[in-house]
């Protein structure tokens, strides 16, 4: 079963058509890298998949975990197993990251039907010890940062670290990672992708990854199953890592021409 299946997906904001007939599928164990220049529709694709209502599906369909996504809300999709690491994570002052993640974990455990099995629920302490602490170590996230308001007064790099921390803690079945590399130096880039790889390796039997980037360097840190090139709202090429090679040497023109 596919984790995600897009058929002829077309998306508009107001009257402006942004995505034009995307076909795309992800199965467990797969890593898909979506590349393309700024404005090609990559982030729109991510936002549409999570259910951001600013983006209207004008044609085609989104199937998530074997079900038509239809008008399901972003939180329903998340509880079904979807995760998005945001390009620009927003701050929620006064809501400590740890408290928020424990609440999110509890909501996700309750699942789509919103029925919580108290037997399965980890205590706050166990949650901290088994879910939070290991990825905090991989990502070098200090205790103080999880007690602070979500993304509040964090640098761009710190925000990206805590996005990956959330990915590790919430254990989604399908994770979309949007421009994780933006604003990170080489060392930080290595560290966050090492953490992404680690989460994926541990859970690849059931998990899929979509990595959105316009930076070929990302391919030094992650091994894609497939690379897709998006331009002007369409996927113009799909293939193995060799596609990235063409991009590297010839740029996006090499794909088109």
Partner 1 sequence: MDKTTPKDNAALDALSSYDDRYQEQYGFEDEAAAYEYLSEKGLNPEVIRAISRIKGEPEWMLEKRLKAYEIFLEKPMPAWGGDLSGIDFDNIHYYIRPEKAGNLKATWDEVPDYVKNTFDKLGIPEAERKFLAGVGAQYESEVMYHSLQEELSKQGVIFLSPDEGLKQYPEIFKEYFGTVISARDNKFAALNTAVWSGGSFIYIPKGLKVEMPLQTYFRINTKNAGQFERTLIIADEGSDVHYIEGCSAPIHTTDSLHSAVVEIVVKKGAKVRYTTIQNWSRNVYNLVTKRAVAYENARMEWIDGNLGSKLTMKYPSVYLMGEGAHGEVLSLAFAGSGRVQDTGAKMIHSAPNTTSVITAKSIAKDGGVTTYRGLVRVEPGMTGCRTSVQCDALLLGDDSAGSVSNTYPTMDIREMDTVIEHEAQVSKITDEQLLYLQTRGVDVALARGMIVNGFFEPIIRELPMEYALELNRLVELEMEGSLG
Asked if residue 255 binds partner 1 (CB under 8 A), the reply is no
Q: Cβ 38 to partner 1, closest distance in Å?
A: 19
Asked if residue 93 binds partner 1 (CB under 8 A), the reply is yes
Asked if residue 166 binds partner 1 (CB under 8 A), the reply is yes
**Cβ atoms of 215 and 207 closer than 8 Å:** no
Q: Exactly one of 35, 62, 78, 207 binds partner 1 (CB under 8 A); which one?
A: 78
Between CA 131 and CA 138 the distance in angstroms is 12
Please give the distance of CA 15 from its chain centroid, rounded to a whole number. 27
**Cβ atoms of 44 and 257 closer than 8 Å:** no
**Cβ atoms of 158 and 145 closer than 8 Å:** yes
Nearest C-alpha neighbor of 66 from the set 51, 81, 53, 52: 81
The residues in 189-228 that bind partner 1, with binding defined as CB under 8 A, are none
- Helices H / strands E in the chain, number of each: 9, 12
Which range binds partner 1 by CB under 8 A, 9-17, 88-96, 139-147, 206-214?
Answer: 88-96
Q: Cβ 156 to partner 1, closest distance in Å?
A: 16
| Closer of 18 and 97 to partner 1 (Cβ) | 97
Check the CA dihedral 56-28-197-125 and report its sign. Answer: positive
The one-character DSSP state at 45 is H
Q: How many other CB atoms are found less than 10 A from the CB of residue 209?
A: 26
Q: Cβ 106 to partner 1, closest distance in Å?
A: 9
Q: Cβ 84 to partner 1, closest distance in Å?
A: 5
Asked if residue 75 binds partner 1 (CB under 8 A), the reply is yes
Q: Tokens at residue 49, please?
A: 């998949």
Asked if residue 73 binds partner 1 (CB under 8 A), the reply is yes
Nearest C-alpha neighbor of 4 from the set 42, 48, 49, 45: 49
The residues in 25-54 that bind partner 1, with binding defined as CB under 8 A, are 50-52, 54
Asked if residue 83 binds partner 1 (CB under 8 A), the reply is yes
Asked if residue 79 binds partner 1 (CB under 8 A), the reply is yes
Q: Exactly one of 12, 57, 104, 122 binds partner 1 (CB under 8 A); which one?
A: 104
Asked if residue 108 binds partner 1 (CB under 8 A), the reply is yes
* Beta strand 174-178 pairing with 82-85: parallel
Q: Tokens at residue 44, please?
A: 């729109």
Total residues contacting partner 1 by CB under 8 A comes to 29
| Closer of 20 and 173 to partner 1 (Cβ) | 173
For binding to partner 1 (CB under 8 A), which residues are involved?
Answer: 50-52, 54, 73-75, 77-79, 82-84, 86, 89-90, 92-95, 100-101, 103-104, 107-108, 149, 166, 170
């Amino acid at each position: 079963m596919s984790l995600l299946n897009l058929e002829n997906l077309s998306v508009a904001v107001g009257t402006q058509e942004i995505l034009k007939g995307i076909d795309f599928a992800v199965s467990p164990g797969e890593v898909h890298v979506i590349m393309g220049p700024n404005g090609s529709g990559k982030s729109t694709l991510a936002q549409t998949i999570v259910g951001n209502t600013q983006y209207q599906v004008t044609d085609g369909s989104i199937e998530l975990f074997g079900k038509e996504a239809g008008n399901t809300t972003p939180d329903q999709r998340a509880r079904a197993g979807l995760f998005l690491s945001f390009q620009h994570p927003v701050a929620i002052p006064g809501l400590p990251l740890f408290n928020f993640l424990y609440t999110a974990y509890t909501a996700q455990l309750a699942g789509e039907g919103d029925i919580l099995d108290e037997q399965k629920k980890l205590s706050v302490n166990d949650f901290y010890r088994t879910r939070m602490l290991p990825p905090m170590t991989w990502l070098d996230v200090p205790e103080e940062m999880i007690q602070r308001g979500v993304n509040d007064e964090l640098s761009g790099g710190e925000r990206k670290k805590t996005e990956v921390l959330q990915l590790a803690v919430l254990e989604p079945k399908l994770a979309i990672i949007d421009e994780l590399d933006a604003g990170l130096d080489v060392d930080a880039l290595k560290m966050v992708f090492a953490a992404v790889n680690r989460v994926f390796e541990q859970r690849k039997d059931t998990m899929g990854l979509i990595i959105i980037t316009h930076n070929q360097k990302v391919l030094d840190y992650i091994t894609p199953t497939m690379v897709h090139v998006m331009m002007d709202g369409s996927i113009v090429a799909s293939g193995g890592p060799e596609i990235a090679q063409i991009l590297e040497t010839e740029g996006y023109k090499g794909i088109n021409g």
